[in-house]
Amino acid sequence: MEEIDEIKEVISNYDKDNIRIGVLASHSALQILHGAKKEGFETVLITIPEREGFYANFRHLIDKVVHINTWKEICRDEVIKKLQDLNVIIVPHGSMVEYVGSECFLDLKIPLFGSRKIMEVEADPRRKMQFLRSAGIPTPREFSLEEDFDDLVIVKLPGAKGGRGYFIAKGKRDVVKKLGNNRRDVIIQEYVVGARAYYHYFYSPILERLEILGIDIRYESNADSLGRLPKSDIEPSFTVIGNIPMVLRESLLPKVMDYGDKFVKATTNVERGGIAGPFCLESVVKDDLSIVVFEFSGRIVAGTNLYINGSPYSWLYWDEPMSMGRRIAREIKLALERDRLYDVLR
């Protein structure tokens, strides 16, 4: 519980009239900076030298730059002090835990809009699937090399991310052949046949409601392009290249919201107050219209970058252009107005 109180103390020393929104120069930083400016906040970009040139193209979105030489330097006392002196709230994104390491991330003495412990669960593939199952959300069947099976499976090697390091196999013999001696810590999952859909949720502790702000499909190489070739022996791979927008049959939305609600409820067992803000469930919709969730992200996903001007869903709640980045800043603003900042920070 120690770190929670420390965050409370850090916030109590912040100048609430000069809160700044900070982000690491990667992933969905541009959207987060843009949204923060739209809501009237000053912004802080935390960057390493290699990224400065690119982000300088968007200096109209950036009020202050905090320079670090390596991402891990964000954990140094003098950098933390500098960020605290600027009253910075950091919005963590998909690159943050990866770049700074989970140990530093969990204990970072800077308030975060977003989760710490749920992102820690996300970083562990087995805990992640266990979490989804315990939430009551349908997930793909899992197999072990101790049993015999003949199913079409997707094999996820340890350390695989962004879809890289996966392969498809048919039955145990094929899995064993393709794995070679590389058998430790692999996850063997039913390959769910259907159409993929990735749901962008936002949970608001202030309005006490779950919003669905967008849906996308990830475009993956080369799995999404194999249909262009004559039947060949090329193995499908799942490296994420970009994202494509999607709207869902409206009759599927109640189920999508139900799984989102279940997720939010389960997060209260993991972190003080549960999740605050963005998260994503990543699914396959089968031809019987059942939804199987094979992954979650406990923070903003890059697919939200599609909707910088709002999505067909965000308009239903807000009637104004509302990106995920802007929605985050709006929640911070609402919390400040109600003197409830601590309730949305972790």
Q: Tell the smallest beta-carbon distance from residue 149 to ligand AMP (Å).
A: 14
Interatomic CA distance for residues 119 and 297, integer angstroms: 7
Of the candidate residues 99, 191, 279, 296, the single one contacting ligand AMP (CB under 6 A)? 191
Of the candidate residues 23, 169, 192, 197, the single one contacting ligand AMP (CB under 6 A)? 192
Q: Which helix (H) or strand (E) holds 154?
A: strand 152-161
Residue 101 binds to ligand AMP (criterion: CB under 6 A): no
Burial class (CB in 10 A: 0-12, 13-18, 19+), 197: buried
Of the candidate residues 35, 92, 111, 140, the single one contacting ligand AMP (CB under 6 A)? 140
Residue 151 binds to ligand AMP (criterion: CB under 6 A): no
Phi/psi at 82 (nearest 5 deg)?
A: -60, -45
Q: What is the DSSP string of 64-89?
A: EEEE-SSGGGGGSHHHHHHHHHTTEE
Residues in a beta bridge with 199:
215, 281
Interatomic CA distance for residues 167 and 147, integer angstroms: 19
Of the candidate residues 120, 122, 271, 295, the single one contacting ligand AMP (CB under 6 A)? 295
Q: Tell the smallest beta-carbon distance from residue 180 to ligand AMP (Å).
A: 21
Residue 279 binds to ligand AMP (criterion: CB under 6 A): no
**Cα dihedral 177, 180, 181, 185 sign:** negative
Strands 20-24 and 42-47: parallel
Q: Tell the smallest beta-carbon distance from residue 156 to ligand AMP (Å).
A: 7
Of 188 and 332, the one with the shorter C-beta distance to ligand AMP is 188
Nearest CA to 110 out of 82, 130, 132 is that of 82
Q: Tell the smallest beta-carbon distance from residue 201 to ligand AMP (Å).
A: 16
Residue 154 binds to ligand AMP (criterion: CB under 6 A): yes
Of the candidate residues 20, 117, 128, 196, the single one contacting ligand AMP (CB under 6 A)? 196
- The pair of structure tokens assigned to 211 is 């919003």
Of the candidate residues 143, 294, 307, 313, the single one contacting ligand AMP (CB under 6 A)? 294
CB under 6 A: which stretch of 39-47, 81-89, 189-197, 333-341 binds ligand AMP?
189-197
Nearest CA to 91 out of 328, 337, 310 is that of 328
Of the candidate residues 163, 171, 242, 273, the single one contacting ligand AMP (CB under 6 A)? 163
Interatomic CA distance for residues 238 and 218, integer angstroms: 9
Letters for 199-238 (x = contact with ligand AMP by CB under 6 A, - = none) are: -------------------x-x-----------------x
Interface ranges with ligand AMP (CB under 6 A): 140, 154, 163, 166, 189-192, 196, 218, 220, 238, 282, 284, 294-295
